[in-house]
Structure 1
Amino acid sequence: MRFTGTRQYVATGELQMAVNAAISLQKPLLIKGEPGTGKTMLAEQIAESLGLRIIQWHIKSTTRAQQGLYEYDAVSRLRDSQLGDPKVHDIANYIVKGKLWEAFEADEPVVLLIDEIDKADIEFPNDLLLEIDKMEFYVYETRQQVKAQHRPIVIITSNNEKELPDAFLRRCFFHYIKFPDPVTMEKIIAVHFPDIKKELLSQAMDIFFDVRKVPGLKKKPSTSELIDWLKLLLADDIPEEVLRNKDNTSAIPPLYGALLKNEQDVHLLEKLAFMHRAKR
C-alpha cells in the first residue's frame, strides 16, 4: 500500500515519503504542524487513497486513554439489576468498546486517527504505549485478550500544545507539515477553486502572505482560512482592483474576518494602516 495523495489533497513529496515510511515500519505516524494545515484531513485522504475505512478518535481535554480501549458501564448494570433484567448476569453486556477495540477487531486493515493527542492530560500518551506498540490489550472484567487481527495504519495529530513523552515519540514516525509555500498553496487552491481568475488569485495570495509576515501577529491566518476568504471574495464578486489598490503590508483586507480571528490582530493591522497613511 502506497500513498501518493489524492485529487482533494495536495501532498508534498516529503509528506508522501513520511506516510509510506510509517506504513512500511508499521509505526504510528505522528503529524505536527500549524492548525489548519490539513493534519486531520490527511488521515481521511490516506483512507480514501488506499480504499480503507477510517476510524476517528477526536481527543478532548477530558478524554482518558481507557476510553479508547473500553469502558465498563456499571451504572447501567446497577439500573438493570434493580429492574430485574436477566442480562445483568453477563458482565460483557456492559462493556462499551472504544475506538482502538473497534480498529483491532476489524476484518480488514483500517486507518485509525487519534486527533489532537496533545489536548489530553500529559499522561495520556504514556497510557497507550503498550497498546499501540503491541496492538493488544486485556479486558479485566471479562478476562479477554483483544489483539488486532490486522495492524491498523495509525495517524496521530498534534498542535504542539504540550510536549509528548520521549517513550511515546520513540514508537512513532514523525513528520512536521511545513506551511505551504506560494507554489504549493496555488495547487491547493486549484483543488477548491479550479476556475478562479489568475489576477484575483495573485492579489489575494500577496495579501495573505503579507499578513502572515506582519510581526507581532497573535494568530497567523492558515490555509483553511485562506480558502474561506477566497470563497467569500468569489461569493461577493469582489473585483481584483479592490485588492490591488490596497497597500498589502499595511491595510486591512476586505472581509478580514475570515483571516483574522482576534481583536488584537485587527487593531495591529489598523495601527499599521494608520501609520502608513500618516507617512504619506
Structure 2
Amino acid sequence: MKFASTDSYVAPPDLTIAVNAAIALERPLLVKGEPGTGKTELARQVARSLGLEMIEWNIKSTTRAQQGLYEYDAVSRLRDSQLGDPRVEDVAHYIRKGKLWQAFEADTRPVLLIDEIDKADIEFPNDLLQELDRMEFHVYETGETIRARQRPVVIITSNNEKELPDAFLRRCFFHYIRFPDIDTMREIVAVHFPGLKERLLATALTQFYEIREMQGLKKKPSTSEVLDWLKLILAEDLTPEDLARDGVNALPKLHGALLKNEQDVALFERLAFMARGGRR
C-alpha cells in the first residue's frame, strides 16, 4: 500500500515519503503548513490513490473529543419514556456514532481525516490519545468496547493556531508542507489548467511570487488562491501584457483573488502613491 501523486494532485517526494512512513508505522500523520497548501486535499487524494473509503471529521472551536466517539441523546430517551415508546428499553437506540466509531467499524480500511485539530480546545488532542493509540474505546451506556476492525489511515491537519501537547505529538508522524517552489507550482498548475500558454503562465507566476515575497504583507496568497486567480485570468482572456504592473497601477489585475484583507490592498496603494510622488 503505497501513496503516490494522482492525476489531480501533485505530491512532492518528501510528502510522499511522509505519508508512506506514517502508513508503515501505523501512526497518525500530522500535517502542518500554510492555509491553502492542500492539507485537507491530501487526505482525499491519499484515499483516492489507495482506493480507500474517506471519513472526514471537521473540527470547530466547539467540537469535543467525545463527539468523535459517540453521543448519548438522553433528552430524546426521556421524551420517549414520557410518551410510552418501547424503544426506551434499549439504550442503543439513543447512541449516535461519531466519526472514529464509523472508521473503527468500517468493513475495509478507511482514511480518517481529523481536519484543523488546532481549532478545538487545548485538551482536545489529549482526550483522543488512548483511542488513537489503542484503536478502541468504551461505551459506558451499553457496556461494550468498540475496537477497530483494521487500523485506519489517520491524517490530522493543523494551521498552527494552537500548540499541540507533547504527549500527542509523540504519537504522530509529523510533516510540514513547504510552500511549493515555482517548478512544483508549474506542475500543480498543469494539472488544473493543461495547455496554459507558457508566456502567460510565466508572467502570472513571476508576479505571484513577487507578491508573496513583498515585505509587510499580512497574508501571503496561497496555492488555492493562485489557482483561483489563474482561472479568472483565463475567464477574462487576459494576456501577459494585461497583467503588467507599474508604479501607477501597483495592484495586480483581479487582485481580490490574491489579496484578502484591506491592509494588504492598502500596502499596494501606498506603493503606487509613493511611485507617483517619485515621478513628479
Normalising by structure 1, we get a TM-score of: 0.98
Q: Structure 2: any 5+ residue segments left out of the alignment?
A: none
State the partner residue of 1:262: 261
Cα distance between partner residues in 1 of 2:37 and 2:157: 11
State the partner residue of 1:64: 64
One-letter identity of the residue aligned with 1:262: N
Q: CA deviation at 1:231?
A: 0.4
Computed over aligned residues only, the root mean square deviation of the Cα atoms, in angstroms, reads 1.2
SS of equivalent to 2:243: helix
What count of residue pairs does the alignment treat as equivalent? 279
State the partner residue of 2:169: 169
SS of equivalent to 2:242: helix
Q: CA deviation at 1:82?
A: 1.4
One-letter identity of the residue aligned with 2:275: H
Cα distance between partner residues in 1 of 2:208 and 2:118: 28
State the partner residue of 2:102: 102
Normalising by structure 2, we get a TM-score of: 0.98
State the partner residue of 2:111: 111
One-letter identity of the residue aligned with 2:268: L
Q: CA deviation at 1:175?
A: 0.1
SS of equivalent to 1:261: coil
State the partner residue of 1:186: 186
State the partner residue of 2:240: 240
Q: CA deviation at 1:197?
A: 1.1
Q: CA deviation at 1:5?
A: 1.3
Q: Does 1:21 align with 2:17?
A: no
Q: CA deviation at 1:227?
A: 0.4
State the partner residue of 1:2: 2
One-letter identity of the residue aligned with 2:231: K
Cα distance between partner residues in 2 of 1:146 and 1:276: 66
Give CA deviations for 1:73-122 in whole Å, capped at 9, x if unaligned: 01111111111110001111101000000000011100000000000000
Cα distance between partner residues in 2 of 1:17 and 1:147: 29
Cα distance between partner residues in 1 of 2:53 and 2:246: 48
Q: CA deviation at 1:276?
A: 2.2
State the partner residue of 1:126: 126
SS of equivalent to 1:131: helix
| Same amino acid, percent of matched pairs | 69
State the partner residue of 2:50: 50
Give CA deviations for 1:167-200 in whole Å, capped at 9, x if unaligned: 0000000000000000000000001100211111
Cα distance between partner residues in 1 of 2:16 and 2:159: 20
SS of equivalent to 1:241: coil
Cα distance between partner residues in 1 of 2:78 and 2:117: 33
One-letter identity of the residue aligned with 2:10: V
Cα distance between partner residues in 1 of 2:141 and 2:46: 35
Cα distance between partner residues in 2 of 1:17 and 1:216: 34
Q: CA deviation at 1:259?
A: 0.3
Q: CA deviation at 1:269?
A: 0.9
Cα distance between partner residues in 2 of 1:214 and 1:264: 13
SS of equivalent to 1:42: helix
Q: CA deviation at 1:279?
A: 2.2
State the partner residue of 1:251: 250
State the partner residue of 1:149: 149
